[in-house]
Chain A
Amino acid sequence: MFTHSIRRRLVIGCVLALTLAACGRSADTPEAGGQATTTVSDGPATGDLTVWAMGTEGENLPKLMEQFQQANPGAKVTVTPIPWDAAHNKFTTAITAQSLPDAAMVGSTWMGEFADLGALDPTPQGFDNAAFFPGALDTTKVKGVQYGVPWYVETRLVYYRKDLATKAGITTPPTDWAGLKAMAKAMKDKAGAKCGINLQPGGTGSWQTVMPFAWSAGAEITADDQKTFTLDTPAMQEGLQYFQSFFTDKVACTDLPPNQTEAQFVNGTAPMFISGPWMAGSVAKAGGDAMKPNIGVFQLPKNKTATSFVGGSNFVVFKNSKNKDSAWKLVKWLSEEKTQAAWYKLSTDLPAVKSAWQDPSIASDPLLPVFGKQLEDAKAPPSIVNWEQVAVAFDTEIEKMVKAGQSPADTAKAIQTKASQIGTGGS
């Protein structure tokens, strides 16, 4: 244990010093464990619990915790809200110094790293895993062991201007790849848009738009063992090719000013884009009440599948918590259908539990049920330690492909080479 914690500290030191590449990868055997056999005891939660949560979730969670404390009078929950920007730093530093809370909300892409540092407690028995969206549940699994549960989810859909689509002669949203391209083309040719669809020409996070196309063509980021990358495959190339064709066919532009998706949507410059549920709100904010009825969404078009990206956050319990049993009771309570619906009303975070989508507040929304359907077929990148680094390389190669005309085959090859050099990481 001693050497293990030293190693852990070294790893984090390296991360913070931004010299990760200089840290050797030790060949330690993974921690013994496998699926947890512990169970959560019956009866109400007791004692003090500290919980970390990011941004607006951290702001709203105390209201939900009041309900938890009513049901569990012996428990007292203190919520610390943490800024999103710096949450990753705060977690890694706290893991090093072992000054962690009992439970926390954790971004789904950090699971691999935190689990590898040995900070997370494996999920005990007694959770109804079938209740969660499968794509979201996958983000809690690191090398076959489940840590925590999905808490809330988001997925990506195609947004479009209904009024301009009518003008372009499109009455029903497309369902296949050719249809989506034709629609974007019609938006440009008939509805006066400068760019038919607003696609990010590379840069931070563009893999989140590209991977859904690749997944839909049958590609996978890694083999099943989460140890070798499979980024240079015909399916991957097909996805890249499709993405690139939007730019080569001039229905998407490389010269749109970035980060103004809402404004460009509202003024008709780019009346389509692919993004998550939060955009419905910010488009309505940018365009006013008149814009609201003109916002339409549809599921990603189908190739072999119609897979989208699933993001969101998980709720975990930390290994060194002194009140683990009660912490897991809290997590269990958070993933109950009723709590999930109540949380949606407090935060507008979409429930990770499928049955909570029956709640009238969600089911009667004009746009949300489409997200629910898409979540049935949505994937996240595997929980590997080095994913964030691989993603950066991925984004760079996409930019080369879109802006400098690098061929999809070369792009896939370059991503695979870079990813293999970085490695999946972890012990």
Chain B
Amino acid sequence: MMRRTWWIYLIAVLGLVAVAAPFVWMLLGSFKTQGELLQVPPTWLPQNATTENYDALFSKANFPRYFLNSGVVALVVTAGNLTFCSMIGYALAKLNFKGRNGLFVLVMATLMIPGMVTFVPLFVLVTNAGLANSYPGLILPFLVSPFGVFLMRQFFLGLPDDLIDAGRVDGSSELGIFARIMLPLTRPALATLGILTFLGSWNNFLWPLVIAQTEDKYTLPVALALYSTGQNAQNFGLLMAGAVVVVVPVLVIFLAFQRHVTKGIAITGLK
């Protein structure tokens, strides 16, 4: 048995190395000095491990603030997407009303327009609404995503109508059917949507950059770009240390949700 499968492990290990090596390099690099990072040939292990990059990072007075901003924005955006996308997706998949297909086409159409095209009009709109430099300005434009609606609709389509009928026969309200019967069944889709939305919001750079007019509304990626990139030189060590700090919450979120994602794949396989 072992003889036949050893090469599968070999390929898996090679894949793991390819995926993990940049992260290990980033982690080790965050303990190197700028001189060592630029050294040729490059080194793996830090020769003189130093925490000066982390010291520099956390000595920037506002660092906890950027972390808080990023966290608040990402969590609210994720919560909004989970709530609204599932509601809209459910309506588009399971409720019969006039113009349903037209609405769905409209949602799909917005999915096909590249974000860069709507970027400036969106910015003008948000600014004219007086939301520049505020949390609502950072959050509102991303509270519902057409992609999320599409994802949830497709998932709801795969669930049998009989469940809804059974709920109605037993006298549950329409909201009750949605919240207590249908929504719990979409947990794998919700987990996927949650991870993708959180990642997207956490890493978003351009929007927070233009909408935040003062430093106290900056998010982590903006602050990181601010402190590590100069006009003529980059502070690579600081960049690595910052990237490590930025990656940690994403890893935590992923570990928390990944069980559900794999479960989702398993369920789809059984159908």
Contacts A17-B116, A263-B39; A89 near B210 (Cβ below 8 A): yes
Q: In the complex, what distance in Å separates the CA atom of A99 from the CA atom of B134?
A: 14
Contact of A285 among B35, B120, B205 (CB under 8 A): B35
Our pick among A12, A54, A81, A90 for the contact of B231 (Cβ within 8 Å) is: A54
Once bound together, how far apart are the Cα atoms of A285 and B38, in whole Å? 11
Contact of B124 (CB < 8 Å), options: A9, A54, A58, A276: A9
For residue A339, CB closer than 8 A to chain B, the reply is no
Chain A residue at smallest Cβ distance from B133: A99
Q: From residue 195 to 214 of chain B, which have CB atoms closer than 8 A to chain A? A: 205-206, 209-210, 213-214
**Which chain A positions have C-beta within 8 A of B35?**
285-288
Rounded to whole angstroms, the CA-CA distance of A9 and B127 in the bound complex is 14
- A287 vs B40: C-alpha distance when bound (angstroms): 13
Which of B123, B124, B127, B226 makes the CB contact (< 8 A) with A83? B226
- Which one, B124, B206, B230, contacts A96 given CB within 8 A? B124
Give the distance to chain B from A404, nearest Cβ to Cβ, in Å: 26
Size range of the interface on B? 20 to 34
Q: Is the CB–CB distance between B117 and A17 below 8 Å?
A: yes
Given A17-B116, A99-B132, also A80-B215 (CB < 8 A):
yes
Given contacts A83-B226, A90-B209, A263-B39, contact A99 B231 (CB under 8 A): no
Question: If A17-B116, A96-B124 touch, does A84 touch B215 (CB 8 Å cutoff)?
Answer: no
Q: Digit string of B32-45 for contact with A (CB within 8 Å is 1, else 0)?
A: 00110011100000
Chain B residues lying within 8 Å of A97, measured Cβ to Cβ, are 120, 123-124, 127-128, 132
Complex Cα–Cα for A425 and B213 (A)? 30
Contact B38 A58 (CB under 8 A): no
Q: What does the 1/0 interface line of B136-176 toward A look like (CB < 8 Å)?
A: 00000000000000000000000000000000000000000
List the B side residues contacting A89 at CB < 8 Å: 206, 209-210
Are B213 and A83 neighbours in the complex by a CB distance under 8 Å? no
Question: Which residue of chain B has its CB nearest to the CB of A288?
Answer: B35
Contact between B229 and A96 (Cβ–Cβ < 8 Å)?
A: no
A130 interfacial by beta-carbon distance below 8 Å: no
Q: Chain A, 243-267, contact with B by CB distance < 8 Å: what is the 0/1 string?
A: 0000000000000010010110000
Residue numbers in B under 8 Å from A32 (CB-CB): none
> Min CB distance, B124 to chain A, in Å?
5
Q: Provide the residues of chain B in CB contact with A101, threshold 8 Å.
A: 213
Given the known interface contacts A55-B230, A78-B214, A82-B226, the answer about A93 and B40 at a Cβ–Cβ threshold of 8 Å is no
If A84-B229, A85-B229 touch, whether A16 touches B209 (CB-CB below 8 Å) is: no
CB atoms of B209 and A86 under 8 A apart = yes
Contact A90 B232 (CB under 8 A): no
* Consensus secondary structure, chain B interface: helix
- Cα separation A107 to B210 with both chains bound (whole Å): 18
Determine whether A333 belongs to the interface, using a CB cutoff of 8 Å to chain B: no
Q: A82 to B132, alpha carbons, bound, how many Å?
A: 16
Q: Which of A54-97 contact B (CB under 8 A)?
A: 54-56, 58-59, 78, 80-86, 89-90, 93-94, 96-97
Instruction: Find chain A residues with CB under 8 A from B229 CB.
Output: 55, 83-85
What's the least CB distance linking A115 to chain B, in Å? 20
> Given A93-B120, A282-B233, are A81 and B226 also a contact pair (CB < 8 Å)?
yes
Interface residue from B38, B213, B231, B233 paired with A263 (Cβ < 8 Å)? B38
Instruction: Give the shortest distance, in Å, between B187 (CB) and chain A (any CB).
Output: 38
Q: A354-395 toward B: CB 8 Å interface, digit per residue (1/0)?
A: 000000000000000000000000000000000000000000
- Choose among B117, B123, B233 the residue that contacts A93 (Cβ–Cβ < 8 A): B123
Chain A facing B: main interface SS? helix
State A215–B231 Cα separation when bound (angstroms): 24
Task: Give chain B residues whose Cβ lies under 8 Å from the Cβ of A262.
Answer: 38
Q: Flag whether A174 is at the interface (Cβ < 8 A).
A: no
Taking CB atoms and an 8 Å cut-off, the chain B residues in 52-85 that contact chain A are none
- A9-B124, A13-B120, A54-B231 are known contacts. Are A80 and B225 too (CB-CB below 8 A)? no
Q: CA A97 – CA B225 in complex, angstroms? A: 23
A105 to B225, CA, bound (A): 18
Chain B 222-257 interface mask (CB, 8 Å, partner A; 1/0):
100111011111000000000000000000000000
**Complex Cα gap A345–B253 (Å):** 45
Known contacts A17-B117, A18-B116, A93-B120: A260-B231 contact under CB 8 Å? no
CA distance A107 to B213 in the complex (A): 19
Complex Cα gap A16–B226 (Å): 21
Please, how many angstroms separate the alpha-carbon atoms of A97 and B129 in the complex?
11
Complex Cα spacing A97 to B226, Å: 23
Does B25 lie at the interface of the complex (its beta carbon under 8 Å from any beta carbon of A)? no
> Which of B123, B214, B229, B231 gathers most chain A CB within 10 Å?
B231
Bound Cα distance from A107 to B232, whole angstroms: 12
A26 to chain B, nearest CB (A): 18
User: Is B38 a contact partner of A286 (Cβ separation < 8 A)?
Assistant: yes
Residues of A within 8 A of B233 (CB): 278, 282
Interface residue A50 (Cβ < 8 Å from any Cβ of B):
yes
CB distance from B59 to the nearest CB of A (A): 12
Q: Check A86–B120 contact: CB distance below 8 A.
A: no
A86 partner residues in chain B, CB cutoff 8 A: 205-206, 209, 225
List residues of chain B with CB within 8 A of the CB of A282.
Answer: 34, 233
* Of the residues A13, A50, A84, A288, contact of B213 by C-beta under 8 Å: A50
The interface residues of chain A lying within 8 Å CB-to-CB of B117 are 17
Q: Which residues of A contact B38 (CB under 8 A)?
A: 260, 262-263, 286
Q: Determine the distance from Cα of A260 to Cα of B227 in the docked complex, in whole angstroms.
A: 21
In the bound assembly, the distance between CA atoms of A97 and B34 in angstroms comes to 39
* A68 CB to nearest B CB, Å: 18
Report chain A residues within 8 Å CB of B116: 16-18
Within 8 A of A (CB), among B112-128: 116-117, 119-121, 123-124, 127-128
- Smallest CB-CB A-B distances: 3 pairs: A83-B225, A97-B127, A83-B226
- List, sorted by A's number, 23 A–B pairs whose CB atoms are closer than 8 Å: A16-B116, A16-B119, A16-B120, A17-B116, A18-B116, A50-B214, A55-B229, A58-B226, A83-B226, A83-B229, A84-B229, A84-B231, A86-B206, A89-B209, A93-B119, A93-B123, A93-B210, A97-B127, A97-B132, A154-B232, A257-B40, A276-B232, A282-B34
